């Protein structure tokens, strides 16, 4: 799904570390085969090519992604919407070729885009959809489950997929210490958080920016309300939560809330969130403050 995969195993034998990697990488490969929009042979690409009135039997992981995406759309008031695929394609972020080509206007249309038959695990989608960050979050969730089933003897593990991660158990310093990346300098951290379990996800414009066919610089965080890149005034949002898929959902939803609303919404939902405004100022919710052990501005907290 376009991300590098890294595994850190602490307090394990070499044999168990190898077994851990086999469990994690094998499971992520299965998710990639189901959910990647960049693969011609993925289950998602085949479904997107069949978007329309026909029913399709789908892989269990793809079915779970679609159901989770629909729930995320409801819970975020529409800020999360997998129909952004058409906009991304029109702006120049190409995945596997679709036939017919998806339309950039799909995301702004109203109406139900997903119908499901749970017993037969069949779906039909009105328009092609993007697995996006929620697919990566689910990949981390399922990989962590595969690692638990493998019964590896280790003090703790960290699974990292392109900067989004899930941790369990002890790290080298007791709890895991995780850097919050400075979007203005990707080699530096602006803060360090501490946790002994859960997931961290970041929505940022620091990496995925490009020149659209119009010549305008754009990014991948699309506001479904406008069909255009959103979150003006923000550079990045990081969320710590119990589940990697939902950390992904809320990091994007908060980013699209914009600088005027993000603080209120994050506090109202009780989220541990860190965010950077356009001038580089770092803000955090009370829940994030409780987890933060260092910031560049303040030093040790």
pLDDT, tens digit, 9 for 90 and up, residues 250-273:
999 999 999 999 999 999 999 999
pLDDT (0 to 100) of residue 111: 73
Phi–psi pair at 46, nearest 5 degrees: -60, -40
210-248: pLDDT as tens digits: 888 988 888 899 999 999 999 999 999 999 999 999 999
CATH 3.40.50.410 fits 43-130, yes or no: no
pLDDT (0 to 100) of residue 218: 87
**CATH 1.10.3980.10: which residues of the chain?**
43-130
Q: CA quadruple 237, 239, 245, 249: dihedral positive or negative?
A: negative
Q: List per-block mean pLDDT (blocks of 10 residues) for the chain, which spans 301 residues.
A: 92 97 98 96 97 96 98 96 94 84 48 93 96 95 97 96 95 93 92 96 90 88 94 96 98 96 96 96 97 81 44
pLDDT (0 to 100) of residue 98: 86
pLDDT (0 to 100) of residue 241: 98
pLDDT (0 to 100) of residue 82: 96
Tokens of 213: 């066919």
**CATH 3.10.520.10: which residues of the chain?**
175-300
Fold of 175-300: T-fold (3.10.520)
pLDDT (0 to 100) of residue 268: 96
The structure's pTM equals: 0.93
pLDDT (0 to 100) of residue 171: 92
Contacts 24+ apart (CB under 8 A), 22-27: 23/143, 23/146, 23/147, 23/149, 23/150, 23/152, 24/143, 24/146, 24/147, 24/159, 26/146, 27/139, 27/142, 27/143, 27/145, 27/146
């Amino acid at each position: 799904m376009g991300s590098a995969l890294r595994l850190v195993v602490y307090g394990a034998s070499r044999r168990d570390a190898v077994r851990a990697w086999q469990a994690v990488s094998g499971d992520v490969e299965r998710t990639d085969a189901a959910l990647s929009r960049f693969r011609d042979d993925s289950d998602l690409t085949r479904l997107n090519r069949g978007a329309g009135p026909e029913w399709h039997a789908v892989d269990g992981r793809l079915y779970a992604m679609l159901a989770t995406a629909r729930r995320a759309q409801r819970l975020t008031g529409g800020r999360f919407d997998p129909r952004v695929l058409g906009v991304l394609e029109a702006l120049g972020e190409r995945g596997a070729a679709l036939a017919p080509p998806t339309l950039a206007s799909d995301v702004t249309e109203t109406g139900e885009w997903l119908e499901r038959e749970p017993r037969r695990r069949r779906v039909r989608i009105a328009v092609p959809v993007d697995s996006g960050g929620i697919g990566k979050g689910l990949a981390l969730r399922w990989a962590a489950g595969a690692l638990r089933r493998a019964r590896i003897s280790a003090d703790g593990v960290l699974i990292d997929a392109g900067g989004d991660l899930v941790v369990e158990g002890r790290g080298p310093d007791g709890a895991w210490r995780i850097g919050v990346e400075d979007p203005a300098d990707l080699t530096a951290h602006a803060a360090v958080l501490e946790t002994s379990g859960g997931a961290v996800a970041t929505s940022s414009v620091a990496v995925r920016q490009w020149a659209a066919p119009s010549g305008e610089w754009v990014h991948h965080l699309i506001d479904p309300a406008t069909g255009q890149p959103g979150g003006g005034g923000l550079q990045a949002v990081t969320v710590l939560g119990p589940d990697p898929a939902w950390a992904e959902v809320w990091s994007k939803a908060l980013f699209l809330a914009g600088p005027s609303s993000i603080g209120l919404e994050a506090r109202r939902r009780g989220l541990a969130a860190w965010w950077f405004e356009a001038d580089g100022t770092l803000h955090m919710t009370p829940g994030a403050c409780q987890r933060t052990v260092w910031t560049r501005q303040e030093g040790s907290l």
